[in-house]
């Protein structure tokens, strides 16, 4: 993995506050989608719900039209890892749905994702439940590793170490990675989900990143479908995806897309969130 050190955008405290407004729109939209998702609903319906909420908040859905992407959400079901296009696909009891959302407020971006089980939790296997749990935990371990003076791959190592500590057979996707975020959705530096600590650009106050582990129940190999967007696991194993936009402040990480700023989950890991 090569890093682009140049072009890392350092935000002022005021700009961090602006990013929080975008982050909250994204966090609230994902909560709304998670509350409404149910068997019999199409992914297109979920997308419409999200788009109207984002626009009602006075924000712009950043995915819509991004390199021609047709949706406001990416919705990836079961063996789809990321970048699934919302549409007529009807969700079933026990499906694993990964929902990725981006919004822009006054030129500043937020980006986050959650994976949920549709309908009856008993309609899927314990392995799938564990996959969701370990992927979300790995995200929080990555966030907790954001310390001033550290390096970007401290995040990567924390994500990988957690996944491996739970189950060596899980596939950690390397074809897609987290990223810097701010006045653009994707900017330097890349934030891989595997690697040794102590590499890449330095973690400094004002650095904002989207951390996004993508984990499968099988191989980490991926394939892009003929629609040129949908990324699936090559071996057909199911995949989970969790993501938050986080800014490092003088007082620690502030999880901009978490409604509580990350306070509760980081406290469980012994880290004080800089939530305001």
Q: Give contact residues for Mg ion (rule: CB under 5 A).
A: 100, 111, 113, 210, 243
Classify burial at 184, counting beta carbons within 10 Å of its beta carbon; exposed 0-12, middle 13-18, buried 19 or more.
middle
Q: What angle do CA 11, 13, 17 make, to 5 degrees?
A: 95
Nearer to Mg ion, 104 or 113 (CB): 113
How far is Cα 146 from Cα 248, in angstroms, rounded to an integer?
7
Smallest distance from the beta carbon of 122 to Mg ion, in angstroms?
Answer: 29
Nearer to Mg ion, 8 or 210 (CB): 210
Smallest distance from the beta carbon of 160 to Mg ion, in angstroms?
Answer: 18
**In this structure, is the dihedral angle defined by the CA atoms of residues 30, 33, 34 and 39, taken in order, positive or negative?**
negative
Nearer to Mg ion, 109 or 162 (CB): 109
Smallest distance from the beta carbon of 113 to Mg ion, in angstroms?
Answer: 5
Nearer to Mg ion, 100 or 154 (CB): 100
Smallest distance from the beta carbon of 178 to Mg ion, in angstroms?
Answer: 6
User: Are residues 183 and 209 in contact, defined by beta-carbon separation less than 8 angstroms?
Assistant: no
Nearer to Mg ion, 82 or 131 (CB): 82
In whole angstroms, how far apart are CA 169 and each of 2, 131, 218, 219? 26, 11, 7, 8
Smallest distance from the beta carbon of 225 to Mg ion, in angstroms?
Answer: 18
In whole angstroms, how far apart are CA 107 and each of 21, 89, 223? 11, 32, 33
């Amino acid at each position: 993995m090569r890093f682009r050190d140049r072009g890392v955008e350092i935000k002022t405290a005021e700009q961090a506050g602006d990013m929080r407004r975008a982050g909250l729109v994204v966090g609230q939209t994902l909560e709304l989608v998670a509350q409404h998702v149910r068997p019999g609903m199409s992914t297109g319906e979920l997308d419409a719900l999200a788009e109207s909420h984002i626009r009602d908040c006075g924000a712009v859905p950043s995915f819509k039209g991004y390199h021609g992407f047709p949706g406001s959400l990416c919705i990836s079901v079961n063996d789809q890892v990321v970048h699934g296009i919302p549409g007529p696909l009807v969700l079933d009891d026990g499906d694993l749905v990964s929902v990725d959302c981006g919004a822009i407020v006054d030129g500043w971006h937020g980006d986050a994702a959650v994976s949920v089980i549709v309908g009856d939790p008993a309609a899927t296997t314990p392995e799938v439940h564990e996959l969701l749990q370990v992927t979300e935990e790995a995200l929080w371990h990555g966030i907790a590793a954001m310390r001033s003076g550290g390096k970007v791959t401290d995040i990567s190592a924390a994500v990988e170490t957690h996944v491996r500590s739970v189950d060596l057979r899980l596939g950690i996707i390397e074809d897609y990675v987290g990223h810097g975020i701010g006045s653009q959705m994707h900017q330097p530096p890349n934030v891989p989900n595997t690697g040794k600590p102590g590499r890449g650009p330095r973690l400094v106050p004002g650095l904002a990143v989207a951390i996004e582990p993508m984990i499968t129940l099988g191989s980490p190999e991926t394939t892009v479908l003929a629609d040129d967007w949908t990324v699936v696991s090559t071996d057909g194993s199911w995949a989970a995806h969790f993501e938050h936009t986080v800014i490092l402040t003088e007082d620690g990480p502030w999880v901009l897309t978490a409604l509580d700023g990350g306070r509760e989950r980081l406290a469980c890991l012994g880290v004080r969130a800089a939530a305001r």
